[in-house]
Structures are given as structure tokens and as C-alpha cells.
Amino acid sequence: MHAKNTICASPSFHRTPIAKAVYRTIALTALASSCAAQSQSPADLGAVVVTGKAQETREATATAPSQGSLTARSAQSTVSDTAVRDYTSPVADYTQALSMTPGVFSYAPNGVGLGDAKITLRGLSDSFAVFSFDGIPFNDTNGVSHHSWVFFPTQFLGGAVVDRSPGSASTIGQAAFAGSVDLRSRTLETDRRTSVTGSIGTWNTRLIGLEHETGQFGQDGGSNLLVTAQKMRSDGYETFNKQDRQALSLKYQQALGAGTTLTLFSSYLNLTNNTPNIKGVTRASHEAGDDRTILSGDPTQPNYYGYNFYDVYTNFSYAGITTTLGDGWKLDDKAYFYQYHNQQNYNSTTAISTSSAIDKLNSYGTAGNVLRLSRESQLGTLRTGLWLDRANSKRYQIPSDPRTGVNQAAPNFNEHYITTTLQPYVEYEFKLGDDLRLTPGVKYASYRQSFEHQQDNGGAVGTLGGTYNKTAGTITGGAPSLSNAITYHDVLPALDLHYKLRPNWSAYAQYAVGDEIPSTSVFDVKNAQVSPPPKATKAKTFQVGTVWNSELMTLSADVYRTKFDSAYTAVGPDTTGNFAYVLSGTQVSQGVEFEGNVALGAGFSLYGNGTVGSLKYDNGQWVAGAPRDTETLGINYQYAGWAVNLSANRVGRNYNDDKSGAHEAFVIDPVVLTNFFANYTIKNPTSFSKQVKLQLAVNNLMNRHDIVAIASPAAGSSSAKPSAADLLTVLPARSVALTATLDF
């Protein structure tokens, strides 16, 4: 029996030793802060203080929410810390920040930051991209995916770098396939600050936050600590889709000597909510003007919100050291641990019975180390390193009675597995001239998965020779479990050429190969009998681009072409019960991209980006969810304490598959989403405070209710013959948030 959780439950800090470690670290560093002598000659830890603009800013690089880099060797965009602080909702997750970059978009049907949203990058979901935090990759272990509503709310972020390619040989991760996203932690500041934040918004959304920055302290000012805590509650746009989020993070830096810095980071987040497993409103409800009704408050109904809930807690910690070793050598090493524990319960949408609900667990703990070494010489720069990662995962789904929480004995599946990843790499950046660099490199990627499957009711590996009693929900006889293992390995080359035409103008050409291993679900067949097993899929990318910056303008553009292996298709079972997997073809992504920011004067700047391209199968049909084009146009104003942004993001026509998997069955018309943010900072408003910052955030300013995807099509439905039973993903209504932050 699984005990139910309430939506207002407090986070169970005692359940994880990492959470205890967070508090111990806070206590120790706070003690060090209070006992250490104040700095007489502060060491420079690279701090950047972000405040309101006291005068007009004319530099385009300072006002761009996203921009290319003159040193980038591929198509990259950097989202600034200022953009995250000023141009996202206070309750937002990283998807809103990433949506500022070319070719990236995301939708949140329950409201920004109030659901598990995904980004789309050049038409592909984030399942085909590496996500990392301060250079440490993280992802689900049953198949590469990421959860925006946990780990890192925007208050923990100090910007991001989006690379729209498999990257160089030094780009590590389990899906260096189509792109990578590196989320950055906050930059520490030189001066002491305590901030208190309060926010209220639409749908009874409330957030309170407390942040303390010690500034530089200790011997020679070599220590610094930032602690951030928040609590957020919201009813959400959709009916009874409530959310309660509590989060804590700390970042500590210590200068250990000339050229050596120790960094400690730890975060904890607990989330409870009533999001249903089946997402989307019916087409009939949408056409009747109702885009909110998902769950009910009636316990006699299958969609009662009390039968649908999540309890998710996550933590992420690392200890890193950077140092100069001499003779041109530099070392960057990070040891880390992160944990994801998602306990979900949901009920059938059509019935209430002793087995109509599912008790579901997806849990893993991951430990590893990222070592990077480099050496600069007259010939160029050598970069080499090693990523080691070991993830221990537990997953199950068990039929359950939603009214009592009593589970049946036989699960749909129950598995434990360990994934061990090894990725050494080497690349050398040759100096072919003062401004010309050629960088060949190679990475070896090895992934080993070791499984233990428990016998089940036929949902995965089956009864393993036992007999399943459907009425009683029990299995008699048979083997209790079976074990198997598989190893995937690839050699992934990369080559790029970077030329600095002028101090403010660069160009590059890149060829890179990325890979992605199959989901663990390939073994969810009777007796896990799979031969031959699938191999990792690959992506081969070629792109050329250029970046140009001046005081009044930033501009970057690129042309790209990527050929992907499509997903595997199961074939079988044969006469012996064996399943085989074969590649279902290829896909080609190609197009052009640009982004730029122009300082117009008088505090105004104009930002824009655009992507025009295609993502199609080898038969010429479009891949579901891939738009023909995306565009962003925004105007910014920064002057005398004001920071204002009005932006419109357009996603062009795309398609969805039907229930049988037929392509281009549904046409999704273009969508335009407009957001508005206005920030005003007042310096020294009282004798005891340093500043107060006020923000008005309006998401979906024009209150559009467009259909953005078909979440679950009904049988036989298409755009030519739509069904009232189709489940649709629809934009949530306009939301407004008022936020005040007091610094003292």
C-alpha cells in the first residue's frame, strides 16, 4: 500500500542524506563567514553585479537577451544573467529563458513554470540534446529526457549557453545528438547583500524568496557564499492542477591560492502537485470555449484530482576545483551527485476500481566525475578529459485502487538497472596563423546497462514461467526475476575551423558526429528476449556560420544540415519469442538561422532571431512537431532604473502524427506568443535598504488560446476528419505577476 500525499505537504527533508548535507554545508560556511577576518585586499573571483541601469546603455552586447559568441566554433547562443533576472516570470523554469534563442520554443499548458515543459530545438525534442549544469550532464536514465519543473528554477540560474550541434569532441553527455544546453549557476558578487522577494499572480500564484550573498570575506577576501531559498504555490490554469514547490540552493567559492579556486554547489527541491497523467483538453471542450477542465473535485468521478498526484524531490551537488598546473597546463575537475525521486499516482479516465489506478515510481541516483585538462603552447591548445558516470535506477508501475491506495501484487513492470558511462576525449586546436584555428578531435563513448527485471503481469518481461491470475492480481510460480546487460559504444569524430577575420568578426565551419543510446524500454518484451539488440543512433552535422559584434549591433548567422538515424522499430516476436529492432530510416534537418540585437539609442534596442528550415523523413514527410520556421522580435528599454521587454515569438506551421503513427495527419497552424516584462529599480529607497526592484510580468499578453499540438489523437482522427475526443495542447490564458524584491 502506498500512502497518499497532500498537495500542501511540507518537503520531506529527512528522506535524503543530500538534503542533510545541504544544511550542514550552510551551517559550516555561515560559521566560516562570521568567524573569518574581513578582506583587506579582496581577491577577484570573477564577480559580476547586476543592477538597474543608472544611465543609457548603448552597447548592443549589454542589451541583447541572447547573442552569438566571437569565439564559438559552432552555432551557439548565450542567454545572459540579466535576461534571466528581468525577462522571465518569477515562477518560471529554464524553458522560458531558453526560448529566447533561435529555433527554440516551449509551451506550458498550465502556465509558465507550473508544469513539466519541454523545449523543441531545430524541430527536435530535448530528448535528442545534452543538458548540463555548470558542465555536468544530467538526464533521466530510462531514456534521455529532462524535467523543467525540478532541479533548477530560474532563481538558481545565471544564464545558459545553447549549442545547436553535436558539439566538439569535448562535448560530453548521453545524447550529443542534435544539440546541447549548458545551464549556468549564479555568478557570485563582491558585496554583501540580502534580498527578500514576494510575488503574487494569476491563478492564486504566490512566491516568497530569500537570498543572501555574503560578498567576499575571509583571508584576502578569498571566500564567497550565495544561499537562495524559495516557496511557491499556485492553483494553475487547468482545473485542480495545483502545485507546491519548495527549493533551496547554495554556492560557495574559496580561493585556495594563485590560480586555484574551489567551488561547492548544492540544491534541493520538493514538488507536489495534481497534474494528471493524461494531459490535454478534449477538442469538444476547446470548441466550447473551455480550455481549463482537466480534473474534477468529485471523488465519485474517475478524474477526481485526489486520485492524481506527484511527489517529486531532487537534489544536485558538486565539488569542483580549477587550477593552473604550470607549463601551460590547466585543470578543471568536478565530482558530483544528483538524485531524482518521482512518486506518481494516477487513475484511469474512464473507471474507478481496485486496479484502475497506477502507483508509479521513477527514481535514480547518479554519481560521477568530469575531468578536463588543457595545455596551451606555441603550436596551439591541447584539450583532453574523461567523464565517468554511474546511475542506479529503480522504476515500477503497479495497478492500484485509487480510493484506498492498496496495490495489487503483480506489477505492470518492476525493474532495477545500473548505467555506467565512460567518455574520454581529446582534441587539439592548431594555430595555423594569428587568427586561424583548426581543431580536430575524437571522443569514445561507452554505455553499459545492467538490468534486473522482476516478473510482472505481462506488461513487460511477463510472468517468467508463472501463471497470472487477473482477477486476484497475483502470479504463482515462475522465476522471480531475470537479469541481462548490454553495452553500447561509439567513436565520435569532430572537426572545426575558426577564423577571426577582424577583432569583432569571426567565422567557422564545423563537422561533428553525435550519438544517442536507445531507451531501456527495448527490453520490455517477454523474457527480455532481444537479439540482435539495437545500436546507438547517430547524427552527422555540417554547418558554417559567422558572428559580428560592434558597439551598436550584434549579429550571427549560420547554415546547417544534419542527417539523423530515425528511431528503431520492433520486429517480432518470432517463433521462439525473440524480438529484433531495425532502424526505421533517416531524417534530414537543414536550414538557416540568424539572431541580432541593435542599440537604437535613448535606451532602446531591438532584438530578433529567425530560423527557416525543414526536418523531414527520407520519404519527404515532415517529422511531427517540427515547424517550417520560427521567429522572435523584441524591443528592449534600459534607462535610469528601467528594464522593459516586449517580445513576440512565432512558431510556424507544423504537423502531428495520427494515432497509428501516420505522418502529417494533423496540421498545426502558426502560433504567436507575446510576453511583456517591466522592471524598475529604486536605489536606496530607505535608510536601511540598498534598493527595491519592482516587476510586472505578463505572459501571453494577447490572451491567445491556440492549439499548439495534438497531445493524444483519437482513433481515425485527422485534420480532415477531427474527432471531438482528441486531446489537445492549448495555450493557457493570459497571466500577470507582480513582484517586489528588497535588497538590504
| The predicted structure's pLDDT at residue 36 | 36
Domains and CATH numbers, the chain: 13-743 (2.40.170.20)
Phi first, then psi, for residue 610 (nearest 5°) are: -160, 150
Give pLDDT, residue 142. Answer: 93
Q: Which helix (H) or strand (E) holds 611?
A: strand 604-617
CB-count burial class (<10 Å; 0-12, 13-18, 19+) for 103: buried
Residue 19 has pLDDT above 60, yes or no: no
Residue 712 has pLDDT above 90, yes or no: yes
Query: Is pLDDT at 155 greater than 50 in this prediction?
Result: yes
pLDDT at residue 584, rounded to an integer: 86
The Cα 500–Cα 599 span in angstroms is 24
Distance CA 222, CA 254 (A): 5
Please report, rounded to a whole number, the percentage of residues in the chain having pLDDT higher than 90: 85
706 band by pLDDT with thresholds 50, 70 and 90? very high
Residue with cell 564577480: 47
Report the phi/psi class of residue 492: left, alpha or beta, with left for phi > 0 and alpha for psi in -120 to 50: beta
Closest CA to 543 of 179, 176, 165: 165
Q: What are the tens digits of pLDDT across the range 560-611?
A: 999 999 888 888 898 888 999 888 899 999 999 999 999 999 999 999 999 9
Please tell me the least confidently modeled range out of 4-8, 144-148, 189-193: 4-8
* 176 — pLDDT class (breaks 50, 70, 90): confident
| Residue 172 vs residues 384, 404, 421, 565: alpha-carbon distances, Å | 12, 45, 10, 20
Residues 57 and 52: their CA atoms lie apart, in Å, by 11
| Coil/strand/helix, residue 486 | strand
Averaged over 483-500, what is the pLDDT?
97
Q: What is the mean pLDDT of the chain?
A: 91
Give 245-272 as a DSSP string.
Answer: EEEEEEEEEEEEETTEEEEEEEEEEEEE
DSSP 530: B
pLDDT reading at 612 higher than 60: yes
Largest CA distance in the chain: 83
Residue 24 DSSP class: H
355 pLDDT tier (thresholds 50, 70, 90): very high
Q: What average pLDDT does the segment 244-248 reach? A: 97
Separation of alpha carbons 361 and 397, rounded Å? 7
C-alpha distances in angstroms, 227 versus 38, 251, 613? Answer: 19, 7, 43
Taking only the tens place, the pLDDT of each residue in 434-489 is 999 999 999 999 999 999 999 999 999 999 999 999 999 999 999 999 999 999 99
Cβ burial of 81 (10 Å; 0-12, 13-18, 19+) is middle
Which is it for the CA torsion 274, 278, 281, 284, positive or negative?
negative
| pLDDT of 25 above 70 | no
Give, for 96, the enclosing helix (H) or strand (E): helix 94-98
Degrees (nearest 5) of the Cα angle 73, 74, 80?
95
Q: Write the pLDDT tens digit of every residue in 91-130.
A: 999 999 999 999 999 999 999 999 999 999 999 999 999 9
Determine the average pLDDT of the residues in 648-654.
97
- Of 21-25, 88-92, 347-351, which gets the smallest average pLDDT? 21-25
Q: Which residues contact 458 (CB under 8 A, 6 or more apart)?
A: 468
Question: Distance between CA 691 and CA 252 in Å, rounded?
Answer: 24
Q: How far apart are CA 47 and CA 44, in angstroms?
A: 7
Cis? peptide before 670, omega within 30° of 0 = no
Mean pLDDT is lowest, of 39-48, 237-246, 379-388, 550-559, for: 39-48
- Whether 522 has a pLDDT exceeding 50, the answer reads yes
pLDDT of residue 257: 85
pLDDT class for 518, splitting at 50, 70, 90? very high
